[in-house]
Chain A
């Protein structure tokens, strides 16, 4: 019997959507991604190990779903070079979404970071995941998580201090 993950899934929606927005920067696409990831999660509910972090498991599914989406869009080199292609994928009317919002300078600074730094930033600093958990979600070594994260945060401090 698969674990009863339905309630947790619904409760996690705001955070899933936030992560999806960081990944794809389009509201419409983010909602599609979240919905698709939820479908995947329910279909594979048995593969979640109760007692482990459900949110980390979902973030991983969501991100894999995003990568598959990019693959379907026939975008090459998406793992290291997602940023340069993201604008091609998002709804042109909405990307970059962040400019539509009344952003704080921090948010604006985060938005200038490379994609791979943004996603590790949201996972560790936004979602309070450990380096190890983030590394598992992103499928990279812990050392990579740390170097991306340190660069992102140094840049953030520079940008916000300069402003």
Chain B
């Protein structure tokens, strides 16, 4: 044991409590016999204390408010994005992993988009289409009614359909990367108007909706975007299906 070579690294690791017990015991024994070794260990303990105090004081002045604000905004966008994800999850729309790769939008961009959807929905007095939140009598609740679903299966984009609940107009149809067929539509009823996106998974299910009560002022977002198109962008809806392509997609979906 007297031949034990005690390098600086070993003594430092001892001082830092990083040595395994057998080695640590050997070092402790050697230290007891050699004041020089003990001194080297004390130096390593001292350098740690010095460094710690140096780094904890003036080297880290207060975080500037601008940095706090920027990161807080990022976090808020991120968490709003998660909330939007929750809404989507409720309706069981989950792009498959394959559909996530090779996207045009980086994931942060998608979060920002989702966040902007949430922000717009609040700002405009819209409410995102959570069925629980909207109550059973609201316009949102009508979006999955049999007559609406039937219209979604049959009406071409741009065509108005008069329904018991109001006038429905399909605005456009999209094929998502995961293969599902989705349609953006507007339902205008006595109680108000709703913009919604329904995707077909055996039946038409509303994945996103923004409604506003009758009599409320039209809301035009300053950047020209609206919640529905932001949502479409966030799910990478791509180009709408036109004419024959849409008719064929509807025919296939009806099978």
Count A/B pairs, Cβ under 8 Å: 126
Whole-angstrom CA separation of A157 from B46 in the bound complex = 8
Asked if A14 is an interface residue, CB under 8 A from chain B, the answer is yes
A122: chain B residues within 8 A (beta carbon): 51, 55
Whole-angstrom CA separation of A139 from B192 in the bound complex = 59
A146: chain B residues within 8 A (beta carbon): 9, 12-13
B13: chain A residues within 8 A (beta carbon): 131, 146
Interface residues on B, range: 35 or more
Stretch from B67-75, B152-160, B164-172, B232-240 contacting the other chain: B67-75
Asked if A49 is an interface residue, CB under 8 A from chain B, the answer is no
B56 touches A126 (CB 8 A): yes
Whole-angstrom CA separation of A19 from B211 in the bound complex = 47
Asked if A150 is an interface residue, CB under 8 A from chain B, the answer is yes
A125 touches B82 (CB 8 A): no
Closest beta carbon of chain A to B38's beta carbon, Å? 15
Pick from B62, B67, B68, B108: contact of A43, CB under 8 Å: B108
Closest beta carbon of chain B to A22's beta carbon, Å? 8
A-B contact pairs, 24 of them (CB 8 A): A1-B85, A13-B68, A13-B71, A15-B60, A18-B55, A31-B67, A34-B67, A39-B108, A42-B108, A43-B111, A106-B53, A107-B54, A122-B55, A125-B47, A125-B55, A126-B56, A130-B18, A146-B13, A150-B9, A150-B44, A153-B43, A154-B8, A156-B50, A156-B51
Residue numbers of A with Cβ under 8 A of B are: 1-2, 4, 6-7, 9-10, 13-15, 17-18, 21-22, 31, 34-35, 38-39, 42-45, 98, 101-104, 106-107, 110, 121-122, 124-127, 130-131, 143, 146-147, 149-154, 156-157, 160
Residue numbers of B with Cβ under 8 A of A are: 7-9, 12-13, 16, 18, 43-44, 46-48, 50-60, 62-64, 66-68, 70-72, 74-76, 78-79, 82, 85-86, 106-108, 111
